Structure formats: C-alpha cells, structure tokens
Chain A
Amino acid sequence: MSELAAPELPIVEVRSRRHPLAGFVLRRLAAGVATLLVVSVLLFVGTNVLPGDVASAVLGRDSTPAGLAAIRTELHLNRPAPERYWTWLSGFVHGDLGSSVAGQAVSGQPSPISGLIGDRIRNTAVLALFTIALLIPLSIGFGVFSAMRAGRPVDHAITGISLGLISLPEFVTGTLLVLLLAQWWGLLPGVSLIPIGESVFSNLSILVLPVLTLLAASLAQTTRMVRAGMLEVLRSDYVEWARLSGHRELDVVLRYALRNALAPTVQVIALNVQWLVGGIVVTEYVFGYPGIGQALVQAVSARDVPYVLSVGMLIAIVYISLNVLADVLVVLLVPKLRTAQ
C-alpha cells in the first residue's frame, strides 16, 4: 500500500553549552505561549467581530428590547472590541472564565463557566485517557508487525483496512457501531448518558462504544505512520548489519530497529493524540456523553459567545501543549538530534 513519508524531526541547535536542553525547552515553551496569544486573538475575532447580532441570537424568539439591552451590557457589546478582548484575557489568565450567557438566559442568574465545566472536563479526560491507553500499544504493535510482514497478505490486510477506517468520519463510525453492536446484537448501550449524581466509573460499559469510535480512525492513522517509520529503519545499513551478524529477526526489530524508530513514533503518536481533539467533540455528541465537547457544540448552537471563547481557549491550550510536549520528548529521547553549533 502507499508509503507514508517519515516525520521530520526537530533539530536542536544547542546555543548554551552548559544547559543546552534547558535552553531548548525554554525557547520551545516561549514559542508555544506566543502562539497561544495569537490564537487567543483569532478566537476572539472569530466569535466576537464577525457580523451577526449575538444578543438576539442568544435570546432567539423571546427577545425583548430590554432583554437585548441586558445581554449587550452583560457581554459589554457596547464597548470597543480591543477593550473587551483585554478584559476577557486578563480574567482568563486569573482563572475567571466569564459567565455563560445561555446559562443565564435559562436560570435567570449569573452562571460562571468555571462552575459548569468541572465534571465535563473530568469525563472528557477519562474518555481521552482510555482511548490513548489503547491507542499507543495497539498502534505500535500493529505498525511494527505490519512493517515486518511488508508486502505479504497480512500487511496488505492491515494497510487496506486502515485506509478504509481513516476515510470514515467519527459520526459515521459511531452510528454504524451503534447499529451493529447496540441495535442488532444488543451487546452495549447505544447512548452514554451519565445519571446526575453518578460518575463515569459507576457504569464503564457506556465508554466502550465511544472509545471504539475514537480508536477506529486514530488507530488506523497511527498504525500506518508507525509502519512507515519502521519500514524506513528496517531498510537501513545497521539493521542489515545486525541481520548479517546472525541476530534473530525479532531481536533485530526489538533491539536495533525499534529503538531508532522511537523518535518518529513518539511524534506520530503525539500528532494523532492532537487529532483526537476534534474526534472527541463529535464522538461525545454522537453518544450524548456529558463531556466538554458535547457542551461546546451546545454552546455553539446557542451562540453562547463567552462559553465558546473560554472553552475554545482551553482546548487550544491542550492542543498546543501536546505539540510542545512532543518536540521536547523527542529531543530528550534522541541524543543525536542535539547538534552542537
């Protein structure tokens, strides 16, 4: 099947001789924070400055002039955009995520976002961690196995099935899984609701279908990338040398090849974990799972600007942190990337 390009690795130019790694980590962190600041402007402009009257969108059909004015005051829509941005950002940095407009419209009193999202973040984290805990060993296993059997029927089967799975959007995978495993065979619950007062852990079976849905595309993607990285290493001279020295093939793969394929693998996994962010939003919505992604979609539907802005920023922080973390991890794992100037 198709060959995938091996990931490019970051090459660290060591500037300070005494603490080369610390310098790299600091510079990478600074770049991450700078990116986040620009992204925060982007998110603010996207939610606030585009045409469309948010106040009447929030209130919908029930809008009265007095209600509209109240919402505009609540959102400070009468003040200039740069000032509103600054108010929001300084609040965010100090842990004040603002108030949900939709929450206030329903309950009639201010509903701080930080009070609304605690449980949801935990639920999403549980879903993500279960998925990642399965994704890492399975993708390395399938990827290495497929590379060792390159060109044989089992390799064709793995690459073919994975190409099919990559092509499916999460909501289609999820829907087909519900049809098959919940509807026709009745093995698992088709929705993943958590009753009020209970936690995810009181009924773990609700996690099975969402985790399978998330795994389908991400496992396929990661397996293909790990396979590509591994193939490249298996073609190298030192692997050939190890084979010629009479090591067993399994030994060659585990002791020589895998170690050198580690850096690209770490990057590939980090990349795919990053891509899970979008998948989690859709998957939570499919199964009605009470996580942060489902809440975000509801907030977008209600055009709850402060909610989308603050939760969107939290998601951007996770996304960009994963990126920084991957770069730092790779440099820690592979000494040869630390080139001296």
Chain B
Amino acid sequence: MTAIAARLRFAKTGTGRIGLAASLLLVALVLIGPLFAPHDPAAIAGLPFQRPTGDFLLGTDGLGRDVLSRLLWGGRSIVGLAVVATALAYLVGVSIGLVAGYTRSLVDPLLMRAMDVLLAVPPLLLLLVLATGAGRSLVVLVLGVATVHTPSIARIVRAATQQLTGRGYVEAALARGERTAAILRREILPNILGTVLADAGIRLTASILILASINFLGLGRQPPAADWALMISENREGITLQPWAVAAPALLIALLTISVNLVADAVARSLGTSIDRKQVAR
C-alpha cells in the first residue's frame, strides 16, 4: 500500500499535476473525441484549404475534408500503436532480462550480446530498413518500435534480477524446490517491477515520437487515414492558405508528448530514482 501511495505522490507536485491533467484530457479527447466529430473524417465536405468558418471550425484540408473532425479521429492510431508497442517491449524485454539475470549459463552472455547489437543500430534506421523489406505494414512497424526499446529494458531488468538472486527469499524458494519459472514470476518479478516501470513514461513518449515521425515520413499509416502526423505532412503545401490544418495537429502532438513527459518526470522524482534518458533512444 505504501508503495502505491509513494507512486501517487508525484500528483502532489505542480508540474506532475499539470501533466496528469493534460494527459487525461488528451486521452479523453482521443477516446471519445470521435463521437463529437461534426463531419465524416474521410468525407469531402467543402472546398480545399478553406479557412475556419462556422461550419468548419478549423477549416478544411487539401481535399476539402473537415480538419476538426480529422483531428478528433486522428489521435487514436498514434496513442494506440504507441501503447501496444511499449507494452510489447516490456513483455519481451522483461522476459529476456529475467532469464539472462537469473541463469548462470551461456544463455546470459548470448542474450546480452544480441541486445548490444540491437543497441548499435540507430532506431530510425531500423524502422526504415523494416519498412523497405516489409512494405507499409503496421504490424512490422509496431514490432520494430518494440525492438528499439527491448535491449535497454532487458539490461535494466537483468541488473536488477542479478541483485536479487542471492537474497534469502529467493534461496528459500529454491530450497522449497520451486521451478525456475515460478521463482522468476513470484519472487523476483514483483520486487523489481517498481524499478522497471519507473521509466515507462519516457518510453511511451519515445514510442509516440518515433511512430509519429514514421507516419509523417509517409511510411506508416496511409491516406485516407486520419492521423495527426499524416495530417501535418499532407497539408504542408497549403500552409500559406490554411495554416490551421498544419498547426492544429502539430500543437496536439506537442501537447501529448509534453504532458506524458511531465508525468514521467514527476513520477521519477517522487520515487527518488533518476531517469536515465541515455537508456531511452530518441
């Protein structure tokens, strides 16, 4: 219980509170926003690049679609894919780290050298290479983003696991004859979870950043999908005529990443741990 209380302490700091409020607001916007969309996000409803009017509160885009409606629909993919990719990275990274940290066999160095190699590839290059080989597949994109995070998570988990393997309660479980999988899951995992999840927030921000960048480069979600990053690249040519079609999604992405980062920062400070940003590729 105290651990949970400590974890919620971040909400008492000013920046933590602002970040949390803004994040919750944006998540609400992303989840229930589509219900309030005045137009069909894919429908051509007016003339291209119209400035804001009563019918189109933020104007229209290059094809004459309603910018506000596309904005309300366009956050789902970024947030959804980033959450899935980050969760997947934790699942794989924690598993690898637990096994590598607990085993005293050759499996440990083999796994960790593999992680070192993955760390030696620039994250964006990895995703570009996968996009070349597999085409514009969202599944491969999510797997790629998860792969970017996996090695550093595995390293942290391995180090934390190694610290615990000599502890009394682990030895006791061993003496009781418990299986390795049970020891890892019931004895070690609960005790390292706090350390491991402390940087979940900045990893989520990093996933959002890189997924949005790939979408912006035209290598992720494809038109006519409504997506904030895609909206920016689609409407850049009309920036003189209708700046809102570009400015609105850009501001929303900025708001999203900044507020998630504020929460992550406040959580780390309240835990008294330091965020090791070096461990998170940008």
Mark A residues whose CB is within 8 Å of B.
1-5, 7, 35-36, 38-39, 42-43, 45-52, 54, 57, 160, 163-164, 166-172, 175-176, 178-179, 183, 190, 217, 221, 224-225, 228, 268, 271, 274-275, 277-279, 281-282, 285, 296-297, 299-301, 303-305, 308-309, 312, 315-316, 319-320, 323
Q: Is the CB–CB distance between B128 and A312 below 8 Å?
A: yes
Q: Is the CB–CB distance between A46 and B130 below 8 Å?
A: yes
Cβ of B218: which chain A residues have Cβ within 8 Å of it?
A: 297, 301
Q: Is the CB–CB distance between A171 and B254 below 8 Å?
A: no
Interface centre among B122, B219, B236 (most CB of A within 10 A): B122
Q: A164-B258, A169-B213 are in contact. Are A315 and B122 (CB under 8 A)?
A: yes
Picked from B247, B262, B282, the residue with its CB within 8 Å of the CB of A163 is B262
Q: Is the CB–CB distance between B209 and A169 below 8 Å?
A: yes
CB of B140 within 8 Å of the partner chain: yes
Q: A164-B258, A285-B217 are in contact. Are A316 and B125 (CB under 8 A)?
A: yes
CB of B176 within 8 Å of the partner chain: no
Number of B residues near A (Cβ < 8 Å) is 56
Q: Is the CB–CB distance between B135 and A176 below 8 Å?
A: no
Picked from B135, B217, B251, the residue with its CB within 8 Å of the CB of A57 is B135
8 Å CB contacts to A: which residues of B186-232?
205, 209-210, 212-213, 216-219, 229, 232
Cβ of B282: which chain A residues have Cβ within 8 Å of it?
A: 166, 217, 221, 275, 278-279
CA distance A282 to B215 in the complex (A): 11
Q: Is the CB–CB distance between B232 and A171 below 8 Å?
A: yes
CB of B133 within 8 Å of the partner chain: yes
Mark B residues whose CB is within 8 Å of A.
15, 116-117, 120-126, 128-135, 140, 205, 209-210, 212-213, 216-219, 229, 232-233, 236, 239-240, 243, 246-247, 250-251, 253-254, 257-258, 260-262, 265, 268-269, 274-278, 281-282
Q: Is the CB–CB distance between B117 and A38 below 8 Å?
A: yes
CA distance A36 to B122 in the complex (A): 12
A-B pairs with lowest CB-CB distance, top 10: A50-B133, A278-B124, A46-B129, A167-B257, A167-B261, A167-B258, A50-B134, A5-B274, A308-B132, A169-B209
Q: Is the CB–CB distance between A39 and B117 below 8 Å?
A: yes
Q: Is the CB–CB distance between B117 and A42 below 8 Å?
A: yes
Q: Is the CB–CB distance between B253 and A316 below 8 Å?
A: no
B278, chain A: closest CB distance, angstroms: 6
Q: A49-B133, A171-B232, A172-B254 are in contact. Are A312 and B125 (CB under 8 A)?
A: yes
Q: A3-B269, A35-B120 are in contact. Are A176 and B132 (CB under 8 A)?
A: no
Cβ of A52: which chain B residues have Cβ within 8 Å of it?
A: 133-135
Picked from B120, B125, B246, B268, the residue with its CB within 8 Å of the CB of A278 is B125
Cβ of B262: which chain A residues have Cβ within 8 Å of it?
A: 163
CA distance A164 to B128 in the complex (A): 27
B44, chain A: closest CB distance, angstroms: 24
Q: Is the CB–CB distance between B128 and A172 below 8 Å?
A: no
CA distance A176 to B253 in the complex (A): 11
Cβ of B254: which chain A residues have Cβ within 8 Å of it?
A: 167-168, 172, 176
Residue of B nearest to A191 (CB): B236
Q: Is the CB–CB distance between A278 and B265 below 8 Å?
A: no
Cβ of B258: which chain A residues have Cβ within 8 Å of it?
A: 163-164, 167-168
Q: Is the CB–CB distance between A179 and B243 below 8 Å?
A: yes
